[in-house]
Amino acid sequence: MPNKTFFWFFLPTGLAMILFIGLPIISTGIQSFYAQHDQVVKEVKKCDPFGCTVSIVVDNEETSKIREAKPLGKFNGFGTYTDRNHLAVDEIKKFWNETESFGAFVDQVTNLPFYKALIFTLTYCLFVTPNVLLLGFIIALSLNAVARKIRGPLIFGTILPMIVTPLVGSLVLFWMIDSQGIIGANIQNLMNDPYLSLKSSKTLTWITIIIYGIWHHSPFAFVVFYAALQTVPQEPIEAAIIDGASRFQRIKHIVLPHIYPVVTFVALISLMDNFRVFEPIIGFSAEGSAQSLSWLIYDNLVNEEVILFGSAAATSMMTIIGIAILLAPVLIRTWKEFKTAR
């Protein structure tokens, strides 16, 4: 296709992506170097028959004037990146000097908001992704062994958790697991502990959100693996059966190598999706004990007094860097393949 024709065909979609994905990333980058203005204060002298007092009040008029003149806020350089709510450089130095054992130091650091969120996000990715791959593969194998006639409805039932939005999916589970729901109440009875509830324990909350993640993402892995299983050639398997290979050996030596490229694809996609975990935290109302990077950004953006654009942008930029690190191996591999192909 000539370049000119290509240009006109691609222009609309290219423009949409540049304007609403490319530019916002740049806009986020710029915003991350600015912080909201401080409030202007003034001294007010109040006199009454008993004498004069000087009090300091916020000058709303002046404040809003400055905000209007420079809506982006004041230039802050890397200040937002290094402050307490982000990388917390000073705090970490302080902890390093003050705490006695390494364990105490780690404890202190993991209590800082950014690191807390980072650790939850990584833990979530680390537990959900492999389990999704495993469960998805087992369901695919298992459904593949069922008679063809009844597979349709079974597949429909299997993909339900995936097609609802994460917020709805987590709410539906939360209403059952909560102490007033069917599962929560029964666990209380079983454990004989009337105060046992999701909100009371950080570990329980984390486990619940991770289980939710596996429940929500496994159907995706299942669908892809199931389609891949249909393409596995039959001859090698039959040969293996004649040679006396067990079922497990057949899966390990024939099926798995055949679908290996698909496994990496699913792992990559689900890693990307898990890294942005956010809606389940709202669905499970777990803000207290589990915060993710995306949730931090959301929290800054719905702040009631002043929207913390700078703070949200700084967290966003660091999230994007995280995504880039996750994607780097794939991009490098594709680049190498592309170079050798030329």
Partner 1 sequence: MDYGLDTKSNRLKTFNTIFIITWLLIACFPFIWTFWGSFKVRADFFSRSDWWYAISAFNTLIETGGKFTTNAYTQAWTEGEFWKASKNTIIVTVFVVSISLFLGTLGAYALSRSTEKYAFWILMAALIFRAMPHITLVSGYLFPFFELQIWGILPTTIVVLVAINQPFTLWLLYSFFKTVPKELDESALIDGCSYFQAFRHIIMPVMWPGVITAGLFSLMLAYNDFTVTALLLNQENHTMVPKIQSYLGTNQHEGNLMWAVSAVVSATAPLFMLVMFFQRQVISGLTAGAVKG
Q: How far is the CB of 173 from partner 1 (least distance, A)?
A: 6
The reply to whether 66 sits near partner 1 by the rule CB under 8 A is no
Contact map string, positions 227 to 266, toward partner 1, x by CB under 8 A: xxx-xx-x--xx--xx----x-------------xx--xx
Among 14-22, 40-48, 92-100, 202-210, which window interacts with partner 1 (CB under 8 A)?
14-22
Q: Does 163 bind partner 1 (CB under 8 A)?
A: yes
Judged by CB under 8 A, the stretch of 58-66, 90-98, 195-203, 313-321 that binds partner 1 is 313-321
Q: Applying CB under 8 A, which part among 74-82, 104-112, 201-209, 315-323 lies near partner 1?
A: 315-323
270 touches partner 1 (CB under 8 A): no
Query: Shortest Cβ distance from residue 129 to partner 1 (Å)?
Result: 14
64 binds partner 1 (CB under 8 A): no
Contact 266, 220 (CB under 8 A): yes
- Say whether residue 215 binds partner 1 (CB under 8 A): yes
Q: Does 181 bind partner 1 (CB under 8 A)?
A: yes
Q: Which stretch binds partner 1 (CB under 8 A): 59-67, 111-119, 152-160, 199-207?
A: 152-160
Q: How many residues bind partner 1 (CB under 8 A)?
A: 108
